[in-house]
Amino acid sequence: MMAKIITFALIFIALAASHLLIDEKGYVLISFNQTTIEGSIVSFTILLLLVITALVLLGKVVRWSWHRLVNTKGHFSRKRKLKAQQAWNESLWLFINGEVEQAATLLTKTPQPDERQDYVRAIAAKAALKQGDVVKANTELEAISDDNQGQLAALWLEANNSEQALALLDDKMSAAKPTSAVLSGYILACLQAKQPELAAAQIAKWHKKLNWSDTQWQSVFERMFVIAPEQADTLFNMLPKAVKAHAIPALNKVKLQQGRIAEVLGELKKLLKQGQYHQLADYLQHSTQSNNELKLALQQQLKKHPDDKELLFSLACLCNAEGDYELAAKIFDSLSANPWEARWSKQAQLAYEKMHTYEKAYLIAKS
């Protein structure tokens, strides 16, 4: 723009100065209807430059005013966007730190853009589940768009809707290589839907892609065998060799609950010999049958470690299993002097109830 102005200025300067070369002052006459304007070339050149300068300045003033007007119009919308973004950032940190209800409340108070609404509803559903409001959680989950429903299997599981979770995951499971997250969600959905055979089949097929810790494996197998304890052996045999080691603890507990202590005796004696008393006690609290050989071995160890609470609890469990509730009650009386552990409560209640000491049983149940 400036280049054009300079070019025109040079042209008019040349015209204004040309009369000097021919020793003429120069003359301009403009006539329009009854109006006549006349003057020298110099005066008209100066006038034209002034007009051009005025137009340039006017253009800049108009442009500046327009930008100010546009910026003023967008001020409030920008302020709303900034407030929404700040609330979004804060809610994400709250969610990450486990404060789900606070995150959901903050997002409810501060409207978010349309593209975030599915995430807002998912956080609200998570908060509702944490508060035990399954109805609200289902309502929020149903409102989420179809495009994002495939990401909600875990939440549908928490909302006790395993059928919906399985339906969402079916398509993903049909892929050539389903992800570890999809596999985990599908197996958990099978267990919640009380389909342990399907869960075991999926584990057998995809176990190499399941990056679970030993604790996670054992939790899955405990749930599986609890659903169908009578099928525990069949389900165990469906598993590949690499996975069976994780399932043995859960299977042993089922066997002890079914009174099949003889099948587990070797493992129990091994734990006792190796001093793994906590694991031994964890097993024996599920036992419904006693074993004299194991009981004698426990008593021998107690002579060496008379105050070991794990050994005392193990012996009390065996006493309950064989009906010696008096000795079991005495053992729990001695354990009550120690900091009480929650896992002792069930066996202690059994012993006290059988000995008709209901006050002690009530106090344990109440604690």
pLDDT digits (tens, 9 = 90+) for 285-328: 999 999 999 999 999 999 999 999 999 999 999 999 999 999 99
Neighbour tally for 62: CB within 10 Å:
10
pLDDT for 17 equals: 59
Q: What is the DSSP string of 97-143?
A: TT-HHHHHHHHHHS---GGGHHHHHHHHHHHHHHTT-HHHHHHHHHH
Token representation of residue 82: 């900034």
pLDDT at 2: 66
Token pair for residue 68?
A: 């100010």
**247-274 residues labelled b (16+ CB within 10 A) or e (exposed):** bebbbbbbbbbbebbeebeebbeebbee
> Residue 316 has what pLDDT?
95
pLDDT of the residue at 177: 78
What pLDDT is stored for residue 283 in this prediction? 95
* Residue 172 contacts residue 182 (beta carbons within 8 Å): yes
Residues 6+ apart with CB under 8 A from 40: 25, 26, 27, 28
Spatial distance between the Cα atoms of 139 and 159, rounded to a whole number of angstroms? 10
pLDDT at site 180: 83
Per the confidence metrics, is the pTM higher than 0.85?
A: no
- Spans of the chain, pLDDT less than 50: none
Which H or E element spans position 58?
A: helix 41-96
Q: Over the stretch 102-126, which tens digit does the pLDDT of each residue have?
A: 999 999 888 888 899 999 999 998 8
Helix (H) or strand (E) holding 37: strand 35-39
CA distance 312 to 203: 38
Would you say 185 and 194 are in contact if contact means Cβ atoms under 8 Å apart?
A: no
